[in-house]
Structure 1
Amino acid sequence: MSATPSSNTTMRADLLNRLAEPQEYDLAVVGGGATGLGVALDAAARGFRVVLIESHDFAKGTSSRATKLLHGGVRYLAQGNISLVREALHERTTLLRNAPHLAQPLAFVMPSYKWWETPFYGAGLTAYDFLAGKAGLGKTEFLSAAETQRLVPRVAPAGLKGGVKYWDGQFDDARLALSIARTAASKGALLVNYCAAKSLTYMDGKISGLECEDTLSGRQFTIRAKCVVNATGVWVDGLREKDGAANPNDGRSPTKPMVAPSQGVHIVVDREFLGGDTALMVPKTQDGRVLFAVPWLGKVILGTTDTPRADLDREPKPFKEELDFILRESARYLTKAPAHSDIRSIWVGLRPLVKSQADDGENTKTISREHTVLVSRSGLVTVTGGKWTTYRAMAEDVLAKCADHQLIDSRPAGVTENLRLQGAQGGEVAQSAMAAPQGAHSYGWDYAAVLALEGAQNEIAPGLTEAMVRYAARYEYAIKVEDVLARRCRMLFLDARLAASVAVKVAEILEEETGMSSECQEFVALARQYMEIPV
């Protein structure tokens, strides 16, 4: 499954020609984030005929804006939700095994400034270890003040009593999404980004497919499918409303919204503010929220917030009070407080928090693992909620629900349990990539194919070569500058000013490869937004 000039090409014309071919799919998935891609991969791996469309780029929304943590959910222990913690810990291990080039163990330290915090949090984390069992990544350790400072050199020393060290996982969310997409493609799925669902089609009151549009050319397509899965994250209610409007006289009450969006803000600063490779986690700040300081790709992510938001902006902006909270709380726990001038990038994601669903004539099932799967009377399958760590389990639940409603036939689950994702197939090349320049490790086994392309030695910026841009265009579905600088490499999320400075060069290579507009000026304007300080 390594990328060669003859395999897994993602050139636009080929994808659209395949989309235009007359056939009936078993499954049409709308939404190219973690959930939709996971469903497409699981279904394709079981041998179903699968098509997935995404109105923007893969992982453009929430799925590229996570805190980059694979976790079992320590906070669920306090709620007594043991089954959820066990499942998440199992899925964490599965993902670490199936995508070692994109996900690795990460040590965390909880600093203690009160005498009772070390034994209190340590007891909970010891229970976390017990639940993990063989899936554990490292033993929880009780730390002295000196040991805490050794692991987190920039932790505030005044009043420090000690700390607790524990282990969880870290990953590159957008690159993982792309790896899942390419693995699904290798199993026969057709995936098309920048292709928007415009309407659903029906036969005898049941969904028979959908109409979609290539947003880059305006070209229209009709997709016939036995089952349509709505996996558009915080935007699922849009397609659900279209489904309800298409059947106004079937006796149902109006479609009730499923999602209450919540906004999470992250800011990125230089590595020196943390001073090491161990993450800092404050379980309870002054207002009760959690604060992370997480090393990631040579920088440090500070966050996150959790603020209700009414709109569904594709590029939400941080509220001033959110930024002030992160900076203020960081100053309490770090020896050098980050200032506005130290911020390299600010990025915001919308989380799909699922509302409680009363019986409105739809067949609803809320699963006790954060996500919800719902099937309408016309057969639209909607899934939302959940988290990156459990994307694979969510996909299995969706397909089980589809089979329960006889939208697809029932086939054995578990096919993705030991399925290595794109780039994870060869240890030797993967190890050489890990030792290569920053960013190269995310290709894993495929790094050899990147090195074989023109411009492999021509660095555009640290961690980005001309060959990487060409590879993104040929094999990774990239069309726009934003696709490359935000998600194929993570420069926009790490240093927005640097990303803006190389946009023109990236655009030249992309347009040479694709023959299409790369929207360079639009990206430069977006990069400015990632630098803006709210007032």
Structure 2
Amino acid sequence: MTQENRYDLLVVGGGINGAGIARDAAGRGLSVLLCEQDDLASHTSSASTKLIHGGLRYLEYKEFGLVRKALQERETLLRAAPHIMWPLRFVMPHMPNLRPAWLIRIGLFLYDHLAKRELLPGSRGIDMRRHAAGVPLIDSIRRGFVYSDGWVDDARLVVLNALDAQERGARILTRTKLVAAQRVKSAGGEAEWQATLRRADGSTFEVRARAVANAAGPWVGDVLHGALGRGAQHSVRLVKGSHIVTKRLFEHDHAYIFQNPDKRIIFAIPYEHDFTLIGTTDVEYRNDPAKVAIDGDETRYLCESINRYFKRKISPSDVHWTYSGVRPLLEEEGAKSASAVTRDYRLELDDTNGAPLLSVFGGKITTFRKLAEEAGDMLARALGSTSGAWTAGKPLPGGDIANARFEPFAQSLAKRFAWLPAPLAQRYARAYGTRAERLIGAAKSLDELGPQIAPGIFDAELRYLRDTEWATCAEDVLWRRSKLGLHVAPGTLEAVTAALESWFATSQARTAVPH
């Protein structure tokens, strides 16, 4: 076993929790290896409703601690990455037959005051007949409420955490699966983990680590009982959440939160300029999380939910795109419906035989940084490290924008690279923040960005995603590192695939040439 294959911590899972734990641990000075069986954020963490929020509806389930924790994290995250996260105002139309106005006002008062706010304005009542948000709604809706939460590009959030982890010394291996791991004795007689990892080509290799963090999301139990051969006190309940995307249903920049007769809520959110994102469902799921997909009943449910409120009716034929994910929710006694299952998390540490094993059960994207911080504290203590928490005030890559004010930054970038078409400059600013300059490099014209692989996608960006952000296929580029898949012309998938395959073939050929 070479020294290069020894680590303080092996993190299993490249979703938001795994990437967050890897970042936190690497920043504490621990040597970290993260392995992900597919692409970063390829499952649950790219299938969220894209919200940084406290969870207004969780107040009805008396989850005050979870809501407060999430509300505290909102502004911390908004400051850490203002290019991929920003404030969003939500409109809640009032339906007297569902919840009385006084109850909603109490809930919004708590939502405003459970945690300190500096960036986000508070809630207020509105007259739908005079507010822009009332225009698309049916005439019988005359009043409503407005409150604040945040929006996030969830898949890019994962990538930026992994990138920061790597820049602090972590090794990130995508398309690499944990096959087996067991506790063994090191040469010095101390307990450690010996793990076998399998690459996409089927080849395997071994690493050793002083500790393992199991952040495999929906697969947390499979990893525990299978690769690790361990049991656990906690378990997860798999719940499918599906979303639909339609052409834009309204012109303003607010989002909607709609109450349903079944006591669930549905969001309708401005999405990628030209679209509206609608979701989500809560459906018990017992199949392979990698094969999750929306079904006809879910699509109809989401359409019907929207049609209760909008003048313009939609049907399944209006759906432009869909996505689904499996949420690994913390299993608790007494939670009968999927909607009632807590979105909180538990961290379980097994160090009875030395060589700590930390497993993550549950969680939501808003609280990932706090979860990672708590995991880092537990692992640091178990490994004898004195390094403390550090992520609360540190920006993510590209997020070091003055005063977390994105618009002045975007304007400055567009001015500095005036030869960039305005939509492309805006997209670079949003996706990459201050790292856009690394992508652009020394280029002084569009021609110097290299060949245009597809409309709006130049060689320089593809190379950046490939070399810096672990993109290996067109799906990584078009649906996770970006949502260009919603906008691109026919043939783009094939063009991006051909460009990546050509580069990888050239790279392998160079590696094979003897020196």
The answer, yes or no, to whether TM exceeds 0.5 is: yes
How far the C-alpha of 1:185 sits from its partner, in A, is 0.9
Which of the residues 381, 386, 407 maps onto 1:411? 386
Q: Which residue of 1 aligns with 2:419?
A: none
Residue equivalent to 2:47: 65
Measure the CA separation in 2 of the matches of 1:516 and 1:391.
Answer: 38
Whether 1:126 and 2:109 are equivalent positions in the alignment is yes
The RMSD of aligned alpha carbons is 2.7
**How much does 1:455 deviate?**
6.3
> Which structure 2 residue ranges, 5 or more long, are not aligned?
334-341, 403-407, 415-421, 509-515
1:292 aligned partner, one-letter code:
F
Residue 375 of structure 1 deviates from its aligned partner by 2.7
Q: Aligned residue for 2:203?
A: 219
Name 2:263's counterpart in structure 1: 288
Aligned partners of 1:30 and 1:230 also within 8 Å: yes
Aligned to 1:210, which of 189, 195, 212? 195
Residue 489 of structure 1 corresponds to which residue in structure 2?
482
* CA distance in 1 between partners of 2:265 and 2:506 (Å): 44
Structure 1 120/210 Cα, relative in aligned 2: closer, same or farther at 3 Å?
A: same
> In structure 2, do the counterparts of structure 1 residues 113 and 455 end up closer, same or farther at CA, with 3 Å as the change threshold?
farther
SS state at 2:129 partner: helix
Q: What are the superposed Cα offsets for residues 331-374 of structure 1, whole Å, 9 maximum, x if unpaired?
A: 111121222232111100000012249xxxxxxxxxx9711112
Displacement of 1:511? 2.2
Query: Which letter does structure 1 place at the counterpart of 2:235?
Result: M
The 3 A distance-change label for structure 1 pair 114 and 164 is same
Cross-structure match for 1:324: 300
Helix, strand or coil at the partner of 1:300: strand
Change (3 A) 1:99 1:420: same
Partner of 2:150: 169
**1:380 aligns to 2:357 (yes or no):** yes
Other structure's SS at 2:66 match? helix
Distance 1:38 1:483 in 2: 20
C-alpha contact 2:240 2:284 (8 A) present in aligned 1? yes
Q: Does the C-alpha gap of structure 1 residues 466 and 23 become closer, same or farther in structure 2, counting only changes over 3 Å?
A: closer
Q: How far apart are residue 398 of structure 1 and its match?
A: 1.4
CA displacement, residues 18-73 of structure 1 (integer Å, 9 cap, x when unaligned): x9763421111010000000000000111111111111000001001110000012
Mean alpha-carbon deviation: is it higher for 34-43 or for 509-518? 509-518
The separation in 2 between residues aligned to 1:255 and 1:412, in whole angstroms, is 28
Q: Is the partner of 2:278 in helix, strand or coil?
A: strand
- One-letter amino acid matched to 1:177: V
Match of 1:448 in 2: 437
Per mean C-alpha deviation after superposition, the further-off stretch among 379-388 and 28-37 is 379-388
Contact 2:289-2:325 within 8 A present in 1 as well:
no
Q: Is the CA contact (8 Å cut-off) linking 2:9 and 2:33 kept in structure 1?
A: yes
Once the two structures are superposed, what CA deviation does each residue of 1:197-239 show, in whole Å capped at 9, x if it has no partner?
1100321595523110111x32322111100111010001111
- Residue from 264, 269, 278 that aligns with 2:241: 264
Aligned residues between the structures = 473
Aligned residue in 2 for 1:188: 169
Cα displacement (A) at 1:81 = 3.1
- Structure-2 residue corresponding to 1:40: 22
Distance in 1 between residues matched to 2:252 and 2:490, nearest whole Å: 28
Once the 2 structures are TM-superposed, how far is the Cα of residue 502 of structure 1 from its aligned partner? 0.9
- Residue matched to 1:279: 255
Q: 1:446 to 1:268 in 2, by over 3 A?
A: same
Structure 1 residue 238 and structure 2 residue 222: aligned? yes
2:375 to 398, 403, 419: 398
Is residue 106 from structure 1 mapped to residue 88 from structure 2 by the alignment?
Answer: yes
Q: Which deviations, in whole Å up to 9, do the C-alpha atoms of 1:265-301 show, x marking residues without a partner? A: 0001112x1222100101x302221110011221211
Q: Distance in 1 between matches of 2:507 and 2:321?
A: 26
| Structure 1 letter corresponding to 2:398 | G
Question: How much has 1:314 moved relative to structure 2?
Answer: 1.0
1:154 offset after TM fit, Å? 1.7
SS in 1 for 2:21: helix
1:60-115 CA distance string (max 9 Å, x none):
01001110000012123233333322221121111100101110000000012338
Matched, 1:306 2:290: no
C-alpha distance in 1 between matches for 2:362 and 2:197: 24
What displacement does 1:448 show? 1.9
Paired residues for 1:353-368 under 5 Å: 353-356=329-332
Q: What's the CA shift for 1:244?
A: 6.0
SS at the partner of 2:198? Answer: strand
Letter in 1 for 2:222: G
> Cα–Cα, structure 1 residues 192 and 516, in superposed 2: closer, same or farther, change >3 Å?
farther
Determine if contact 1:55/1:196 at 8 Å carries over to the other structure. Answer: yes
Cα distance, 1:81–1:195 mapped onto 2, change above 3 Å: same
Q: CA deviation at 1:325?
A: 0.3
- Aligned partner letter, 1:389: T
Over 3 Å counting, the alpha-carbon distance change for 1:432 and 1:201 in structure 2 is: farther
Amino acid in structure 2 at the alignment position of 1:235: W
Deviates more, 1:184-193 or 1:501-510: 501-510
Deviation at 1:480, TM superposition (A): 1.2
Alpha-carbon distance between aligned partners in 2 of 1:281 and 1:459, rounded to the nearest angstrom: 40
Task: Give 3-state SS (helix, strand or coil) of 2:41's partner.
Answer: coil
> Counterparts of 1:500 and 1:386 in 2: how far apart (Å)?
38
Shift of residue 122, structure 1, vs aligned partner: 2.7
Q: CA deviation at 1:499?
A: 7.3
Paired position in structure 2 for 1:503 = 493
Question: Is the aligned partner of 1:141 residue 2:113?
Answer: no
2:504 to 494, 514, 524: 514
Whole-angstrom CA distance in 1 between matches of 2:254 and 2:321:
21
* 8 Å Cα contact 2:37/2:174 also seen in 1: yes
2:513 aligned residue: none
Give the distance between the partners of 1:22 and 1:451, measured in 2 at CA. Answer: 33
AA at the equivalent of 1:345: W
Runs of 5+ in structure 1 lacking a partner? 1-18, 248-253, 358-367, 519-535
Distance change >3 Å, CA 113–CA 258, structure 1 → 2: closer
CA change 1:179–1:106 in 2 (3 A) is same
TM-score by length of structure 1 reads 0.82
- How far did residue 264 of structure 1 move? 0.3
One-letter amino acid matched to 1:439: R
